[in-house]
A and B are shown apart, each in its own frame.
Chain A
């Protein structure tokens, strides 16, 4: 069998003739950038074949001499040496660790999803001769009245352990939908069970360690990106390859989470055995894939997922490597397109506790909106696409060091990057600023089309584009650009979000102005310029103090659930109470969408501050 060696990593793999280089790389665990799922469209997977003969039609068609598309180039009979240029390797596999405020020394607090309680049990005697397990449960009931379940594994050495601990034992229990599960009984260890909260985004995954004095959030790209940028492409992958598709995607996300956990544990000096729970949030498709649930009917009318309200599972059932007696909790979803991430967001922002209606807009790949107060909760999804997360754009990137995060004009356009590093690309907040600035400077018109001859606008291959930073300034040695197609994607994304919110509000007989607060959530940068978000019509023109940037509320919600089981019940409540609106069949959506696909909006009177600034 031919051997394919990927350079510069130097990793080799045996591959059958006819295997695409992309698949070979996947088998070798060598990440190759790829936004279209191997369809020969995105041209991100360019490689150079240094040695050997290949088959297929991966070259030509506008590619530079010597370049091949890995997805369209096939292994032939000979061994190969394949070089991955830097931009092709840009799928970062490495994990970014970020410091946060550390938790207190006595963290997690009592009442967490998993907690250890030290109990004194009366030793048995001839009068009080109930079984060990009943004795334990009887004592536990005094501590907290609930149904208790002792799994066989714990039961087996329960007698030994209780006596070994001389009837003064640490009991680790988890909260389950039906009561509590006993995970461990043993001598007092004076060590709390640690947990990890995870947000599985379509584009990026984040995890936070919940342990005393821990202060770390780890993040990385979702490696499933190589099967396509959005949930639909990934579902299609499962559909196309019924046998391997879904398991392959599950494995990728589990591996990502494993790496994040490893990084967190390493940073804090904690053992895997000490992690007793994973609390996971994410959209419905991501949770399906994480659990290995076949997601195909999510995309087909009438859009029904396998399960929204999930019971806790054992770590080995999903394949995550934490304490094997621990638990994996998934937050509940509302519908196929409004997932646990939104339930978490509503929980984290207290949307359902407010006296007056507010909105939560999650600017993720799926783009969900929830509106509500203590009286009602409604939500919808806007399929915004990954544009604001840097997906599918020529120079898009997630918010990471070197990402252009803000743009402004001082006669000419200026920008700054995360960490003031040389620019690697543009992240969401950078795109918001860039669009707003270009419109304001009349470098593009209000439909988002570049004005020929305007400064910075160049024509390449018959298309206009804007060069933000030339190659010589950029980290990757390539221009940082905004193409007409990028603008279209961004305008569509923001149009979808605004239109979805408008339709949802109209269904309630309300208007943006009736909302107390409009909270924007997402992980697309930390420097949201509210004025610019309004200038492009992503957000409505309301007094700016009503707009709040709330960050990654999916992760925040997962943390809240982990540290306080009351929130677990609350999340289930929220999911049950939330009314989902299907917009794809809503008669007004298309109209609102078209009117929102303009900068800032077709109805200029809805954006008085923007019109005033432009006069």
Chain B
């Protein structure tokens, strides 16, 4: 009985203990359930995102760069098909072996291999390594032939920047290259960058990056734990960059570049009403296509060490004394301020009796002298003596106001080119501020013939000429087609203004700032006087560019030569009177020429500068003459095209 009682007691204990355990089990299971609730219901979104992050990987696909076209929609910068070799890193077992095999196939040198290894280190294990972004067709077909032996190798047909007019446009369009850390700081590049994407390095390519770069695409793949792509989930297509339409006429540009062949210098041509830059050539030049895939050391050294400095865009970054091409503006200033009667006669007596001021002698370029000169003749024959005297009477400050108003001394194309120079139009204030010296009258005198402190770019001279030629109206020079300008309206407005107010006088002579397409002159007759004198300079006997003239009124143009000294001319030089060829290249004069055409109903202005070319009349004017003919021949085409007849494209 005792046993039995004990047994009952033991059974009770066991059962009681079991129930205590069961209660604990229920509690613990409740704990698990609440944890499940937390994970799967409360925090579901968080884990859903984490799971997607796990399984979905994005690859950015590079966009095609926007194309750049000329006035006639001809492609100046296009996207060409290229053959590339990519390596999919996560498909490669032994990177060294693969690289060795590739090296034998496409002949990589030690330097390139080192670069590849460095590149690889920066990539993630599932990334793609671009071994070569520009294979020849032979290399490409070789790779394809041995593809089965090359782990992870992927021959790719891709596009890259191509400049069909290579050398002819590099100074305008610029070139592209790999993005530098500094490039990546720019917001438009930072936002749209994909590894391997080329970005603009200079010129339009650089300044219009926002337009050209486009938007990258996104390919979303589902990947497994080891990063292998399983399936494509999503593909947001990349968007090609916008087209940039230039005002350049590639035919004229090409011709201008051809005229400059084997010379150092610049040719600019501009529509005098619309301000469209038709051509802007700089010589010597180089091939932008070489930069697309990284220029090799040899080519780079060749460009860099060329004494004629091809890297400098001479049209906007080359600074020259304008020389005699400045004279029409000096004459205009003197007339506008009423300093001088155009009929005033001054005698040029040649080198034996130079112009003298406080004991300093100023010579005319013509040894034997011009004799008695009036203003028109002085411009026509470019008599220095007359301009010395006129500048003295005018004073440098008044001259600088007019010079600045007509476009000298300030940037012409805005922020399109980061290397564009402002040039310099000196005045007394400037000298005191910059050099902390007072102005000397002698400096005024040589300023009158465009020498001394004054510095201009070829494009500024072209603009100056254009704004005189259009009757004294301020225009807005530009190289990218401006959709907001109604060109036809602008031209009509200016022409109407010209004919309706022939004697209009303006009372803001001292005001430099004039609105676009507004008059800048004080007296219409002054402008006409200068234009007529320039006509004489080209089309009348004894005119400095008489030999380059056209008699056909269709092509007939008016211009002004210039020969700008690069050093002081000594008495010895005058005695020797050497020919250009006999002087050391670096010491030769720059040859300049500015012109507008046609003389009747003018439309285009042009400036030509040949560095160390000698005299403007012998070297620069003939080039201008040839180009003017080409421009006028193409004018009708341009006009038709720009007025909406785009069928010519």
Whether chain B is bound by chain A comes out as: no
